[in-house]
Structure 1
Amino acid sequence: MSSPSGAHPGRRAATGLLTVLLLPLTGACGDTGGLVSAGVTPTASGPVHLWPGRAGAVVPPADPGGAPPEYVPGIAPVPDQNVHVIDPVALVQAELRDHPNVQTGPDGMPGETSAAIRACGAEGADPRKCPVLTPYYRDLTGNGKDELIVGIEYPEQQMSVRVYTADAEGRLNRIMATTDTVISVELAGRDVIVRVPSGNAGYEVNTTWSWDATQRSMLPTREQIVRVPGQGSGPGPSSGSRPGPSSGSGSGPIPSPGPAGAAR
């Protein structure tokens, strides 16, 4: 007898069995790659201004005219703003003549260091005892010309870091001067980074100096307190209060000097 629907009974049974087998597969495909709840998302909120009624300190606006240039006297005009022709020892000696017996500030220098610098280059003097270190060069102002970076060793691991640039008239201008107990000095792009011990044991302070075209000098634009890897929390030589850097008018470690005694 033929089926009322005209379909073969065995074929209808096979179709029904296939449908039953496909149902769990279809349900499984619906779960694959689906979104799963990660729980309640915390509500985003901005910073809360504490004590809003308090009259805060006022930041004075920067002088639009910039800081007065700290020209170095006693140095011949620099041709084509090429600071590579400058003798760094003669440069520091010229600054000493212009600021004799200064103990503090950007020109401050211990007496023994001043005496050693004055003796640099003298007949019979040991060049290894000269506190003026090998100079480095880098375009820090973005004008396409290198600036001159000079380091001066002071007693007790203190160091003075100074940066000079030459203007279009050939005058040499000091755009940075800072003195501190220095771990190391680094160059990152057009920034000078000075690493010093923090007042907290196991930490150091990294101060980034950047060129400010308005002030026409290098300014400390960023300061980070960084934990030193592998350092314990016990007292160390950096414990106590760390004085801030003394500043004047103004990533990776600096590479070793090249054969000519200088590096870019």
Structure 2
Amino acid sequence: MTPSRPSRLTRAAGRPTRAALGAAVAAVLVATLAGCGDSGDLRAAGATPTAVGPTKLWPEVPPASTPALDYGEADTETVKGITAPGDDIHRVDPVAVVRAEVAAHPDEYTGPHAMYAQTVDQLTYCGKKGAQGRRCPILQAYYRDLTGDGKDDLVLGIRFPKGQLGVRVYTFTHHKLVQVMGTSDSVVSVELAGRDVIIRSPSTLPGYEFRTVWTWDPHQHAMLATRDEILRVGTAPPTTAIPTLSPSASAS
């Protein structure tokens, strides 16, 4: 139900800042003005570096015959007992969806060693107003067509103990509500960008964070972690605060 974090292997180079770009443009302008009155003849730009292709390491090692770990493995589940007229996901009760998840996974939520027993207790505050209502662990629901079928899908955030946030995506398939993405992690932010779900998580390495991009895969019929990066974000230690879903996401 909750896939483990894939290996963090991809590094991404930082983009130039506006100040750096402005300095570069200014340098080009100065060089252009200084060249006024030039004859315009072609000049050599110096030696061109030789292109270096990839070098295969340890060619004597035979290709693996078994898959490595579970990276990219689809993890979907039909939500029992949840329907909506016309498969309109806007008419699905998020609290009922989470309660169905609780019922389907008693070891995680209600068993003697349940990790999320506190979350189950907090479900009693859902639907109430004021301070009690704010203790409900289910965050605001967001809607976006993530599967590309022209219909909105449901994105839910669930607060878990120890600063964890569960992120779930649901869609209707053959008149059944199906969870097509389920992950839990310490989270800096969650964003919807186009048809991607982007989750930024703190790193134990100060000044860096993880960014995982989840994208719909029509072959697996699930949201897969298609890009997993470690990014330089500054020098301050990472935060473990759990925010709400990004306001930049479009809610219906």
Please confirm whether the aligned pair reaches a TM-score higher than 0.5, indicating the same fold: yes
Shift of 1:124: 10
Please state how far the C-alpha of 1:58 moved relative to its aligned partner. 4.2
Instruction: Give the AA of the match of 1:190.
Output: R
Q: Tell me the CA shift for residue 60 of structure 1.
A: 4.4
Q: Distance in 1 between matches of 2:46 and 2:99?
A: 68
The separation in 2 between residues aligned to 1:58 and 1:216, in whole angstroms, is 25
Give secondary structure in 2 for the equivalent of 1:101.
helix
Pairing of 1:62-81 with structure 2 (within 5 A): 69-75=76-82, 77-81=83-87
37 and 118 in structure 1: CA distance in 2 versus 1, 3 angstrom threshold: same
Relative contact order, CA 8 A, sep 6+: which one is greater? 2
Q: Is the 8 Å Cα contact of residues 180 and 221 (structure 2) preserved in structure 1?
A: yes
- Between the aligned partners of 1:69 and 1:88, the Cα distance in structure 2 is 18
**Residue 222 to residue 58, structure 1, CA distance change in 2 (3 Å):** farther
1:107-165: CA deviations, max 9, x gaps?
x7521112112453379992111000000000000000010000001233210000000
Q: How does 1:105-254 map to 2 (within 5 A)?
A: 109-121=115-127, 126-167=132-173, 169-229=174-234, 231-232=235-236, 236=237, 254=246
Contact 1:197 1:203 in 2 (8 A): yes
Contact 1:83–1:148 (8 Å) recurs in 2: yes
Q: Deviations over 1:204-250 (max 9, x none)?
A: 00000000111111010001111113x25xxx467xxxxxxxxxxxx
Runs of at least 5 residues in structure 2 that lack an aligned partner in the other structure: 1-37, 240-244
Match for residue 40 of structure 2 among 25, 33, 50: 33
Q: Quick check: 2:192–2:248 contact (8 Å CA) kept in 1?
A: no
What is the RMSD of the two structures over their aligned residues, measured on CA atoms?
A: 2.9
1:76-118, Cα deviation, whole Å (9 max, x unpaired)? x223331100111111012112222316xxxx75211121124
Equivalent residue for 2:13? none
Separation in structure 2 between the aligned mates of residue 68 and residue 201 of structure 1, nearest angstrom: 31
Answer yes or no: is the 8 Å Cα contact 2:125–2:135 preserved in 1. no
Cα displacement (A) at 1:255: 2.4
Whole-angstrom distance in 2 between the partners of 1:69 and 1:157? 24
Long gaps (5+) in structure 1: 1-30, 239-252
